[in-house]
């Protein structure tokens, strides 16, 4: 007998990136396809010390079941940290929930805000992990074009007009995945106003916000939220460790309370050992210094990639990221994208085709997403040189 897979899952395919990632054990392949932090970014010694102290002082707490909302001291520390980075982020009536990475926060928020057949507005392109979570919730995706300064406001107006009952906008305002662009302050206000006027909740995902390495801070949309329509997702994956799987959501209590119920039935609570480690890191580490070191590390990597692209792929177009992990490299029109990605693979450079990130992957696209956080500096130089040769062969 063949088990029948549900309709909600029947069409879902593994993420192309994670499939590519599986084959990345080969060290001769330049890893532009993933989204890993640099292994040099992990505060290994500090985490090792903290883990030792946790086992000495709080072993039973770390090993026992805990409450779904999250380890109380971490909830407090994460809230303080988030508000120190984004002054005015938490409002009266807001709660915080610790999640198993920001991915779970996105999944829980979508479950709590949408039903089967509801429409979710999103950037086009956007983070594949979120789009797929929405698809499993059986939401319809309505993509809105992304410009050099973030989502198109005209496009958003149009999408709302076409989907007057849209329930939620999913948006990554800082160093967006996959485009690397940042939403301007003017547009943040316009996005907020439009959503408020139309009764649309905003799911603001800010995994890279602490990794700005040029330009000036632009406040989170959540800081504008006097009306309680924004759920803000943060994570320690990019600034402490993704393997620990600790993220959080800050938003209106009524929504957060439902997210807690959904989390109870999803994984009961996030690994307590991870939560205590993150908590003690936030409490004991000089976070300003730690973040400055990460920003410097990633600025260097991004600069190398930008220089390489200008030299070796002069006909590629891109917006220079002011932070984060990704650069969206638009190849000349007419390029066969999948053939290019395959040729890059043969030249030992792993890149993700831009189609992966489209709400409608059948739309033509000639972009690849390039990750500069994971590869070493020499790999970035070599990888871009190789990509240049691959592109030249296509344009010849």
Which parts of 122-161 interact with its own copies (CB under 8 A)? 129, 132-133, 135-136, 138
Distance CA 23, CA 1 (A): 32
Binding piece for its own copies, criterion CB under 8 A, among 108-116, 204-212, 216-224, 290-298: 108-116
Q: How many residues bind its own copies (CB under 8 A)?
A: 89
Binding mask 23-52 for its own copies (x = CB under 8 A): -----------xxxx-x--x-x--xx--xx
| Residue partners of 18: CB distance under 8 A and separation at least 6 | none
Least gap, CB of 335 to its own copies (angstroms): 28
User: Strand 326-330's sheet: what is its strand order?
Assistant: 326-330, 367-371, 352-353
Interaction of residue 1 with its own copies, rule CB under 8 A: yes
Which 197-256 residues touch its own copies, going by CB under 8 A? 199, 201, 227-229, 237, 241-245, 252, 254-255
Q: Do residues 176 and 123 make contact, with C-beta atoms less than 8 angstroms apart?
A: yes
DSSP code at position 212? B
Q: From the list 57, 59, 292, 342, which residue makes contact with its own copies (rule: CB under 8 A)?
A: 59
Interaction of residue 290 with its own copies, rule CB under 8 A: no
Interaction of residue 119 with its own copies, rule CB under 8 A: no
Distance CA 131, CA 181 (A): 18
Nearest partner of 149 among 132, 127, 174, judged by Cα: 174
Compare residues 135 and 369 and give the one whose CB is closer to its own copies.
Answer: 135
Least gap, CB of 59 to its own copies (angstroms): 5
Compare residues 23 and 307 and give the one whose CB is closer to its own copies.
Answer: 23
Least gap, CB of 285 to its own copies (angstroms): 15
357-387 burial string, b = 16+ CB within 10 Å, else e?
bbbebeeebbbbbbbbbbbbeebbbbbbbbb
Long-range CB contact pairs, 122-125, < 8 A, 24+: 122/169, 122/170, 122/171, 122/359, 123/151, 123/170, 123/171, 123/172, 123/176, 123/179, 124/358, 124/359, 125/178, 125/179, 125/328, 125/354, 125/357, 125/358, 125/359, 125/365, 125/367
Distance CA 74, CA 359 (A): 35
Which 327-386 residues touch its own copies, going by CB under 8 A? none
Compare residues 36 and 90 and give the one whose CB is closer to its own copies.
Answer: 36
Compare residues 6 and 216 and give the one whose CB is closer to its own copies.
Answer: 6
- Token pair recorded at residue 289: 């210094």
Distance CA 86, CA 99 (A): 20
Compare residues 53 and 330 and give the one whose CB is closer to its own copies.
Answer: 53
Which 264-283 residues touch its own copies, going by CB under 8 A? 264-274
Binding piece for its own copies, criterion CB under 8 A, among 9-17, 88-96, 156-164, 339-347: 9-17
CA distances from 246 to 202, 271, 288, 336 (A): 22, 8, 20, 39
Least gap, CB of 378 to its own copies (angstroms): 18
Compare residues 196 and 319 and give the one whose CB is closer to its own copies.
Answer: 196
Least gap, CB of 9 to its own copies (angstroms): 5
Binding piece for its own copies, criterion CB under 8 A, among 64-72, 85-93, 181-189, 357-365: 64-72
Interaction of residue 288 with its own copies, rule CB under 8 A: no
Least gap, CB of 137 to its own copies (angstroms): 9
Least gap, CB of 358 to its own copies (angstroms): 16
**Opening angle at CA 139, ends 4 and 154, nearest 5:** 150
């Amino acid at each position: 007998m063949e088990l029948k897979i549900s309709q909600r899952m029947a069409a879902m395919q593994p993420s192309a990136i994670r499939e590519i990632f599986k084959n990345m054990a080969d060290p001769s392949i330049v890893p532009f396809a993933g989204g890993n932090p640099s292994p040099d970014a992990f505060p290994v010694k500090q985490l090792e010390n903290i883990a030792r102290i946790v086992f000495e002082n709080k072993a039973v707490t770390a090993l026992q079941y805990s409450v779904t909302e999250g380890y109380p001291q971490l909830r407090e520390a994460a809230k303080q940290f988030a508000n120190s980075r984004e002054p005015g982020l938490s409002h009266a009536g807001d709660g915080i929930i610790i999640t198993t990475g920001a991915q779970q926060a996105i999944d829980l928020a979508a479950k709590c805000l949408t039903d089967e057949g509801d429409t979710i507005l999103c950037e086009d392109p956007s983070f594949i992990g979120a789009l797929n979570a929405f698809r499993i919730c059986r939401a319809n995706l309505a993509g809105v074009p992304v410009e050099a300064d973030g989502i198109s406001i005209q496009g958003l107006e149009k999408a709302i007009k076409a989907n007057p009952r849209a329930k939620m906008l999913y948006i990554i305002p800082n160093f967006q995945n996959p485009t690397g662009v940042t939403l301007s302050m003017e547009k943040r206000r316009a996005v907020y106003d439009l959503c408020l006027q139309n009764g649309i909740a905003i799911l603001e995902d800010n995994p890279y916000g602490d990794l700005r390495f040029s330009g000036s801070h632009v406040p989170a949309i959540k800081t504008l939220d006097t009306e309680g329509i924004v759920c803000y997702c943060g994570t320690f994956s990019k600034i402490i460790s993704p393997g620990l799987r600790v993220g959080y959501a800050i938003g209106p209590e009524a929504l957060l309370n439902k997210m807690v119920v959904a989390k109870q039935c999803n994984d009961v609570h996030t690994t307590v050992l991870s939560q205590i480690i993150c908590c003690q890191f936030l409490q004991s580490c000089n976070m300003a210094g730690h973040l400055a070191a990460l920003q410097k590390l990633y600025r260097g990597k991004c600069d190398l990639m930008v220089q390489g692209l200008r030299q070796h792929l002069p006909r590629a177009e891109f917006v220079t990221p002011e932070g984060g992990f990704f650069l969206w490299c638009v190849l000349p029109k007419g390029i066969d994208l999948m053939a290019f990605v395959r040729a890059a693979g043969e030249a030992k450079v792993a890149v993700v085709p831009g189609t992966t990130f489209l709400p409608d992957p059948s739309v033509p696209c000639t972009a690849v997403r390039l990750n500069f956080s994971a590869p070493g500096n020499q790999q970035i130089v070599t990888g871009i040189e190789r990509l240049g040769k691959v592109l030249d062969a296509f344009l010849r």
